[in-house]
Amino acid sequence: MSRYMSSRFADLEAYVPGEQPQDRQYVKLNTNESPFPPSPQVIAAVSGEQVGMLNLYPDPECRRLKSKVAACYQVREENVFLANGSDDILNFAFMAFCDKDRPVAFPDISYGFYPVYARLHGISAREIPLREGFVLAAEDYYDLNSNIVIANPNAPSGRAIPVSDIEQILRTNPDHVVVVDEAYVDFGGESCVRLIDRYDNLLVCMTFSKSRSMAGGRLGFALGSPGLIEDLNKLKFSTNPYNINRLTLVAAEAALDSQDYYRENCRTIMENRCYTVEELRKLGFTTIPSLANFIFTSCPKCSGVELYGKLKERGVLVRCWDKPALRDYVRVTIGSREQMDAFLEQVRAILKEG
Ligand code: PMP
């Protein structure tokens, strides 16, 4: 830290994203990307006339895309907020709704960015322990008297809770915002978007990074009551009105015109998830039931950190954590059948090595 850095950030520990190595080709199962390319329409859209228009700023209101998102989710445009990845949305949500006196609560094991945003914005955060087996018990969030952020399905476990649980949490915290991070909802989970008309304290956060193969394009969106959306827009327009670039806007519009393609890809991922869990079970692994495009699994022979290291040597990247509760596990993104077979082959070889 230089002597010029504000003392506000002295205790801030930045989020560490998953590795994006550039040195060699890996079977890359560490950051929950889609193994499938964007749809042909998306590729055509970003290769078209918009490239020649990069001299012009994009539409800061993102009107065309906003109207398509609204139609896709059967909500009104005033229910839609768009930003540069759902990380950008979460940052705005923490900034907008929380402060020293308006604390936030989230599970102690969840997306690692939540505590970072809390610290970044000087928010007091309460981490609520998950129950045995990474189970989120809805009643632990009733009447909390604080804002709440829940990833559903949760990360890194992949476990999901039903919409009825989310509704109870909303009902018992009427004076606080409940952010439901549905980054992984398209792989078998149940979205709570239909509740936004009934609960003006609900903000549902989604992304094009996973099910819509656009992690590199950076597009996230949030759906919620017009008041919450207005608050988020106030902050976006006080930070960077052009936070979504021209190419991403047209790519996302084209992605929404390719629903069948992405639905089919999600189906394949879910099949591959089932296949991988079953093959790992035969090898003695224990896997947490997942409704996401990743699984959280523990090896019968070695720790998560060890398995991660051995797999990396063999050209397969997965993710592990050093936290005691997570140490036995690796998180494995579900990719194509070929990628999962390559992963399983290396796992079998590692187990044979002893
Ligand atoms: N929420 C969760 C739970 C995630 O795992 C991620 C991906 N790292 C994000 C949000 C952010 O995704 P993005 O910024 O790519 O939309």
Return the DSSP state at 42: H
Q: Rounded mean pLDDT of 89-98?
A: 98
Q: Quote the percentage of the chain above a pLDDT of 90.
A: 96
Cβ-contact 330, 297 below 8 angstroms: yes
pLDDT of residue 23: 80
pLDDT in tens, 215-238: 999 999 999 999 999 999 999 999
Indicate the CATH number of 7-37+260-353 among 3.40.50.10680, 3.40.630.30, 2.20.25.240, 3.90.1150.10. 3.90.1150.10
175 CB-contact burial (10 Å; exposed 0-12 / middle 13-18 / buried 19+): exposed
82, 181, 187, 294, best to mutate for ligand 1 pocket (most atoms within 8 Å of CB): 181
Specify the ligand 1 atom closest to the Cα of 87: 14
Q: Which atom of ligand 1 is nearest to the CA of 17?
A: 8
Q: Do the first three CATH levels of 7-37+260-353 and 40-258 match, i.e. the same topology?
A: no
Within 6 Å (CB) of ligand 1, which residues are found? 85-87, 111, 151, 155, 181, 183, 207, 209, 215, 220
- Give the pLDDT confidence score for residue 191 in this predicted structure: 98
Q: How far apart are CA 68 and CA 42, in angstroms?
A: 15
Mutate to test the pocket of ligand 1, among 113, 114, 117, 136 (most ligand atoms within 8 A of CB): 113
Integer Cα distance of 347 and 14 in angstroms = 32
For ligand 1, atom 3: residue with the closest CA: 111
What is 40-258's CATH number? 3.40.640.10
CA distance 171 to 174: 6
- Note the pTM of the prediction, 2 decimals: 0.97
Q: Is the peptide bond before 156 cis (omega within 30 degrees of 0)?
A: yes
In terms of DSSP H, where are the helices of the chain? 40-46, 63-73, 85-97, 113-120, 163-171, 226-236, 246-256, 259-282, 304-313, 337-353
Q: What does the pLDDT read at residue 22?
A: 87
Q: Ligand 1 centre from 110 Cα, in Å?
A: 11
Average of per-residue pLDDT across 270-287? 98
Q: Which residues contact 349 (CB under 8 A, 6 or more apart)?
A: 314
Domain ranges of the chain: 7-37+260-353, 40-258
pLDDT at 289 > cutoff 80: yes
pLDDT for 17-69, tens place per residue? Answer: 998 988 889 999 999 999 999 999 999 999 989 999 999 999 999 999 999 99
Q: How far is the CA of 93 from the centre of ligand 1 (A)?
A: 14
Span 132-182, pLDDT tens digits: 999 999 999 999 999 999 999 999 999 999 999 999 999 999 999 999 999
Chain-centroid distance of CA 123 in Å reads 21
Q: Can you name the residues that pair with 131 across neighbouring β-strands?
A: 135
